[in-house]
Amino acid sequence: MTENELLINGAKEMGIELNEDTVKRFFAFSQFLLLRNKTMNLTAITDPRGIIIKHFLDSLSLLAVTEIPRAASVIDIGTGAGFPGIPLKLARPDLDITLMDSLAKRADFLKAALDVLGIADLKVLNARAEEYGHVPAFREKYDFAVSRAVGSLSVLCEYCLPYVKAGGVFLAMKGSDASLELESARSAIKALSSELAGVRAVNLPDGIKHSVIIIRKLRHISPEYPRKQSKIAKSPIK
């Protein structure tokens, strides 16, 4: 199976149709990522097949596990090298996506990647989530928050849920078995005025299994959240 077929067929199995132009842009992103990765620490995955499966198809799996309405606003918190936000934008140009990362060098990479891909309507924020979560222009302004960032679910909830509108959804991308992590995050989910809406299994090629935890925001949350980073790290909500 060629790399093109792997991407196209993998997406199709999720119910996602990628046209020829979109596929070309995915591979242009892959090439740019690998080029910049020679001088930056962007990804440990450097083989083309791994990038397609572990970055591209994994990101697109969000479109398979839940319905994201047309023109929905999405913030990708801790996006790193642009996952899942850039693949989501390539597959769904209608989405209003914002990428957030705390490192200026990564933000610069993201802006350069968007220029290469010809994407003009995707925003990049070089910001700390716990700080911008209190800024009125961003607080509770998004239909969806998504994150593939490393961190416990309870910590990610505090970082991400302040950005979600009441009635909106936080999609946390996790490993194959998120049951223990989910159990420890139940108090945080409740404290942040939200509820567990489901856990969806993601089966990728090569036997790779992930899960997506779907958390729905019920109402406005207390203005005390998110707390300062040091407080979140030392005292996660329990």
**Per-domain residue ranges for the chain?**
68-234
**CATH 3.40.50.150 corresponds to the domain 68-234:** yes
Whole-angstrom Cα distance, residue 83 to residue 61?
Answer: 12
pLDDT tens for the 238 residues of the chain, in order:
899 999 999 999 999 999 999 999 999 999 999 999 999 999 999 999 999 999 999 999 999 999 999 999 999 999 999 999 999 999 999 999 999 999 999 999 999 999 999 999 999 999 999 999 999 999 999 999 999 988 899 999 999 999 999 999 999 999 888 888 899 899 999 999 999 999 999 999 999 999 999 999 999 999 999 999 999 989 999 7
120 Cβ neighbours under 8 A, 6+ residues apart: 114
For 151, left (φ over 0), alpha (ψ -120 to 50), or beta? Answer: left
Nearest Cα neighbor of 114 from 138, 132, 129, 98 is: 98
Record the pTM: 0.97
